[in-house]
């Protein structure tokens, strides 16, 4: 089966979805003015975290000028600016900031991944692209045997995890704070996504997300 390091090298070399390959590479060439000095990653973004994790944090896809630039999940954009301080407050991270792959950030008891590993146009992967990336999800989760909790950030991440287990989403509805004990699997815990769209409008507050992380910690037996 290989190791997580081996798998992550395979993920970073993936070219399964032509639309996503074209988009991520175009973004890496054109860049954003604020990041003209950066050498964009512009490849699929592997998972990141503790191989012995009890909690999986599962997002939707890398941001075009965040993870697609830095090469690490939720690093270099507003979503990460909300997520990593929360993980630090909860005791899952050794520092509250994430700016690059070599910034010294380490996670404990948490692994971070996403339903799609490539930045999609308009942040909207297609159903076919989510299904294609499920190939990597299947292999990744098999290498994380200690998982007790899936923390899904948003409905699409929730649906992708259900699909991984072959479950019908109508029977396991998404709602912020919802908990689902999956057959032959971890507890699925839901949260609104940590996107700027949610955090700057107050739909998801620091207090709300801190409470979700504390619940994840309890469900994982870490309290």
Range with the lowest mean pLDDT among 29-33, 44-48, 104-108?
29-33
Q: How far is CA 19 from the centre of its chain?
A: 20
Query: Mean pLDDT, to the nearest integer, of 7-17?
Result: 97
Sign of CA dihedral 110, 115, 121, 124: negative
Domain that holds residue 108: 4-219
The helix/strand count (H/E) of the chain reads as 8, 6
> Is residue 1's pLDDT more than 70?
no
- Residue 223 banded pLDDT, cuts 50, 70, 90: confident
How much is the pLDDT for 133?
A: 97
How much is the pLDDT for 184?
A: 82
CA separation, residue 119 to residues 37, 67, 97, 148 (Å)? 20, 8, 21, 28
Q: Cβ neighbours of residue 153 under 8 Å, at least 6 residues apart?
A: 57, 58, 59, 60, 191, 192, 193, 194
* Beta partners for residue 190, in sequence order: 152
pLDDT digits (tens, 9 = 90+) for 59-109: 999 999 999 999 999 999 999 999 999 999 999 999 999 999 999 999 999
- Residue 127 banded pLDDT, cuts 50, 70, 90: very high
CATH of the domain at 147: 3.40.470.10
pLDDT digits (tens, 9 = 90+) for 128-180: 999 999 999 999 999 999 999 999 999 999 999 999 999 988 899 999 999 99
Query: Where would I find the beta strands (DSSP E) of 18-148?
Result: 48-49, 55-59, 110-114
The tokens describing 116, both together, are: 């799609």
Decide: pTM greater than 0.85: yes
The tokens describing 64, both together, are: 């075009």
Q: Count the domains in the chain.
A: 1
């Amino acid at each position: 089966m290989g190791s997580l390091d081996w798998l992550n090298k395979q993920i970073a070399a993936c070219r399964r979805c032509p639309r996503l390959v074209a988009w991520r590479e175009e973004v890496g060439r054109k860049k954003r003015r604020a990041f003209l000095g950066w050498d964009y990653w512009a490849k699929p973004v592997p998972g990141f975290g503790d191989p012995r994790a009890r909690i999986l944090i599962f997002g939707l896809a890398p941001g075009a000028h965040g993870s697609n630039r830095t090469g690490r999940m939720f690093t270099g954009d507003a979503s990460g600016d909300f997520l990593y301080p929360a993980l630090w407050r909860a005791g899952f991270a050794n520092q509250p900031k994430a700016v690059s792959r070599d910034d010294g950030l380490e996670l404990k008891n948490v692994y971070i991944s996403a339903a799609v590993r490539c930045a999609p146009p308009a942040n909207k992967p297609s159903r076919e692209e989510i299904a294609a990336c499920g190939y990597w999800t299947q292999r990744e989760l098999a290498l994380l045997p200690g998982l007790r909790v899936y923390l899904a950030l948003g409905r699409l991440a929730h649906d992708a995890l259900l699909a991984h287990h072959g479950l019908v989403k109508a029977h396991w509805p998404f709602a912020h704070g919802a908990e689902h004990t999956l057959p032959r699997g971890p507890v699925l815990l839901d949260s609104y996504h940590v996107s700027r769209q949610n955090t700057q409008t107050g739909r998801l507050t620091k207090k709300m997300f801190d409470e979700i992380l504390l619940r994840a910690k309890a469900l994982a037996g870490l309290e």
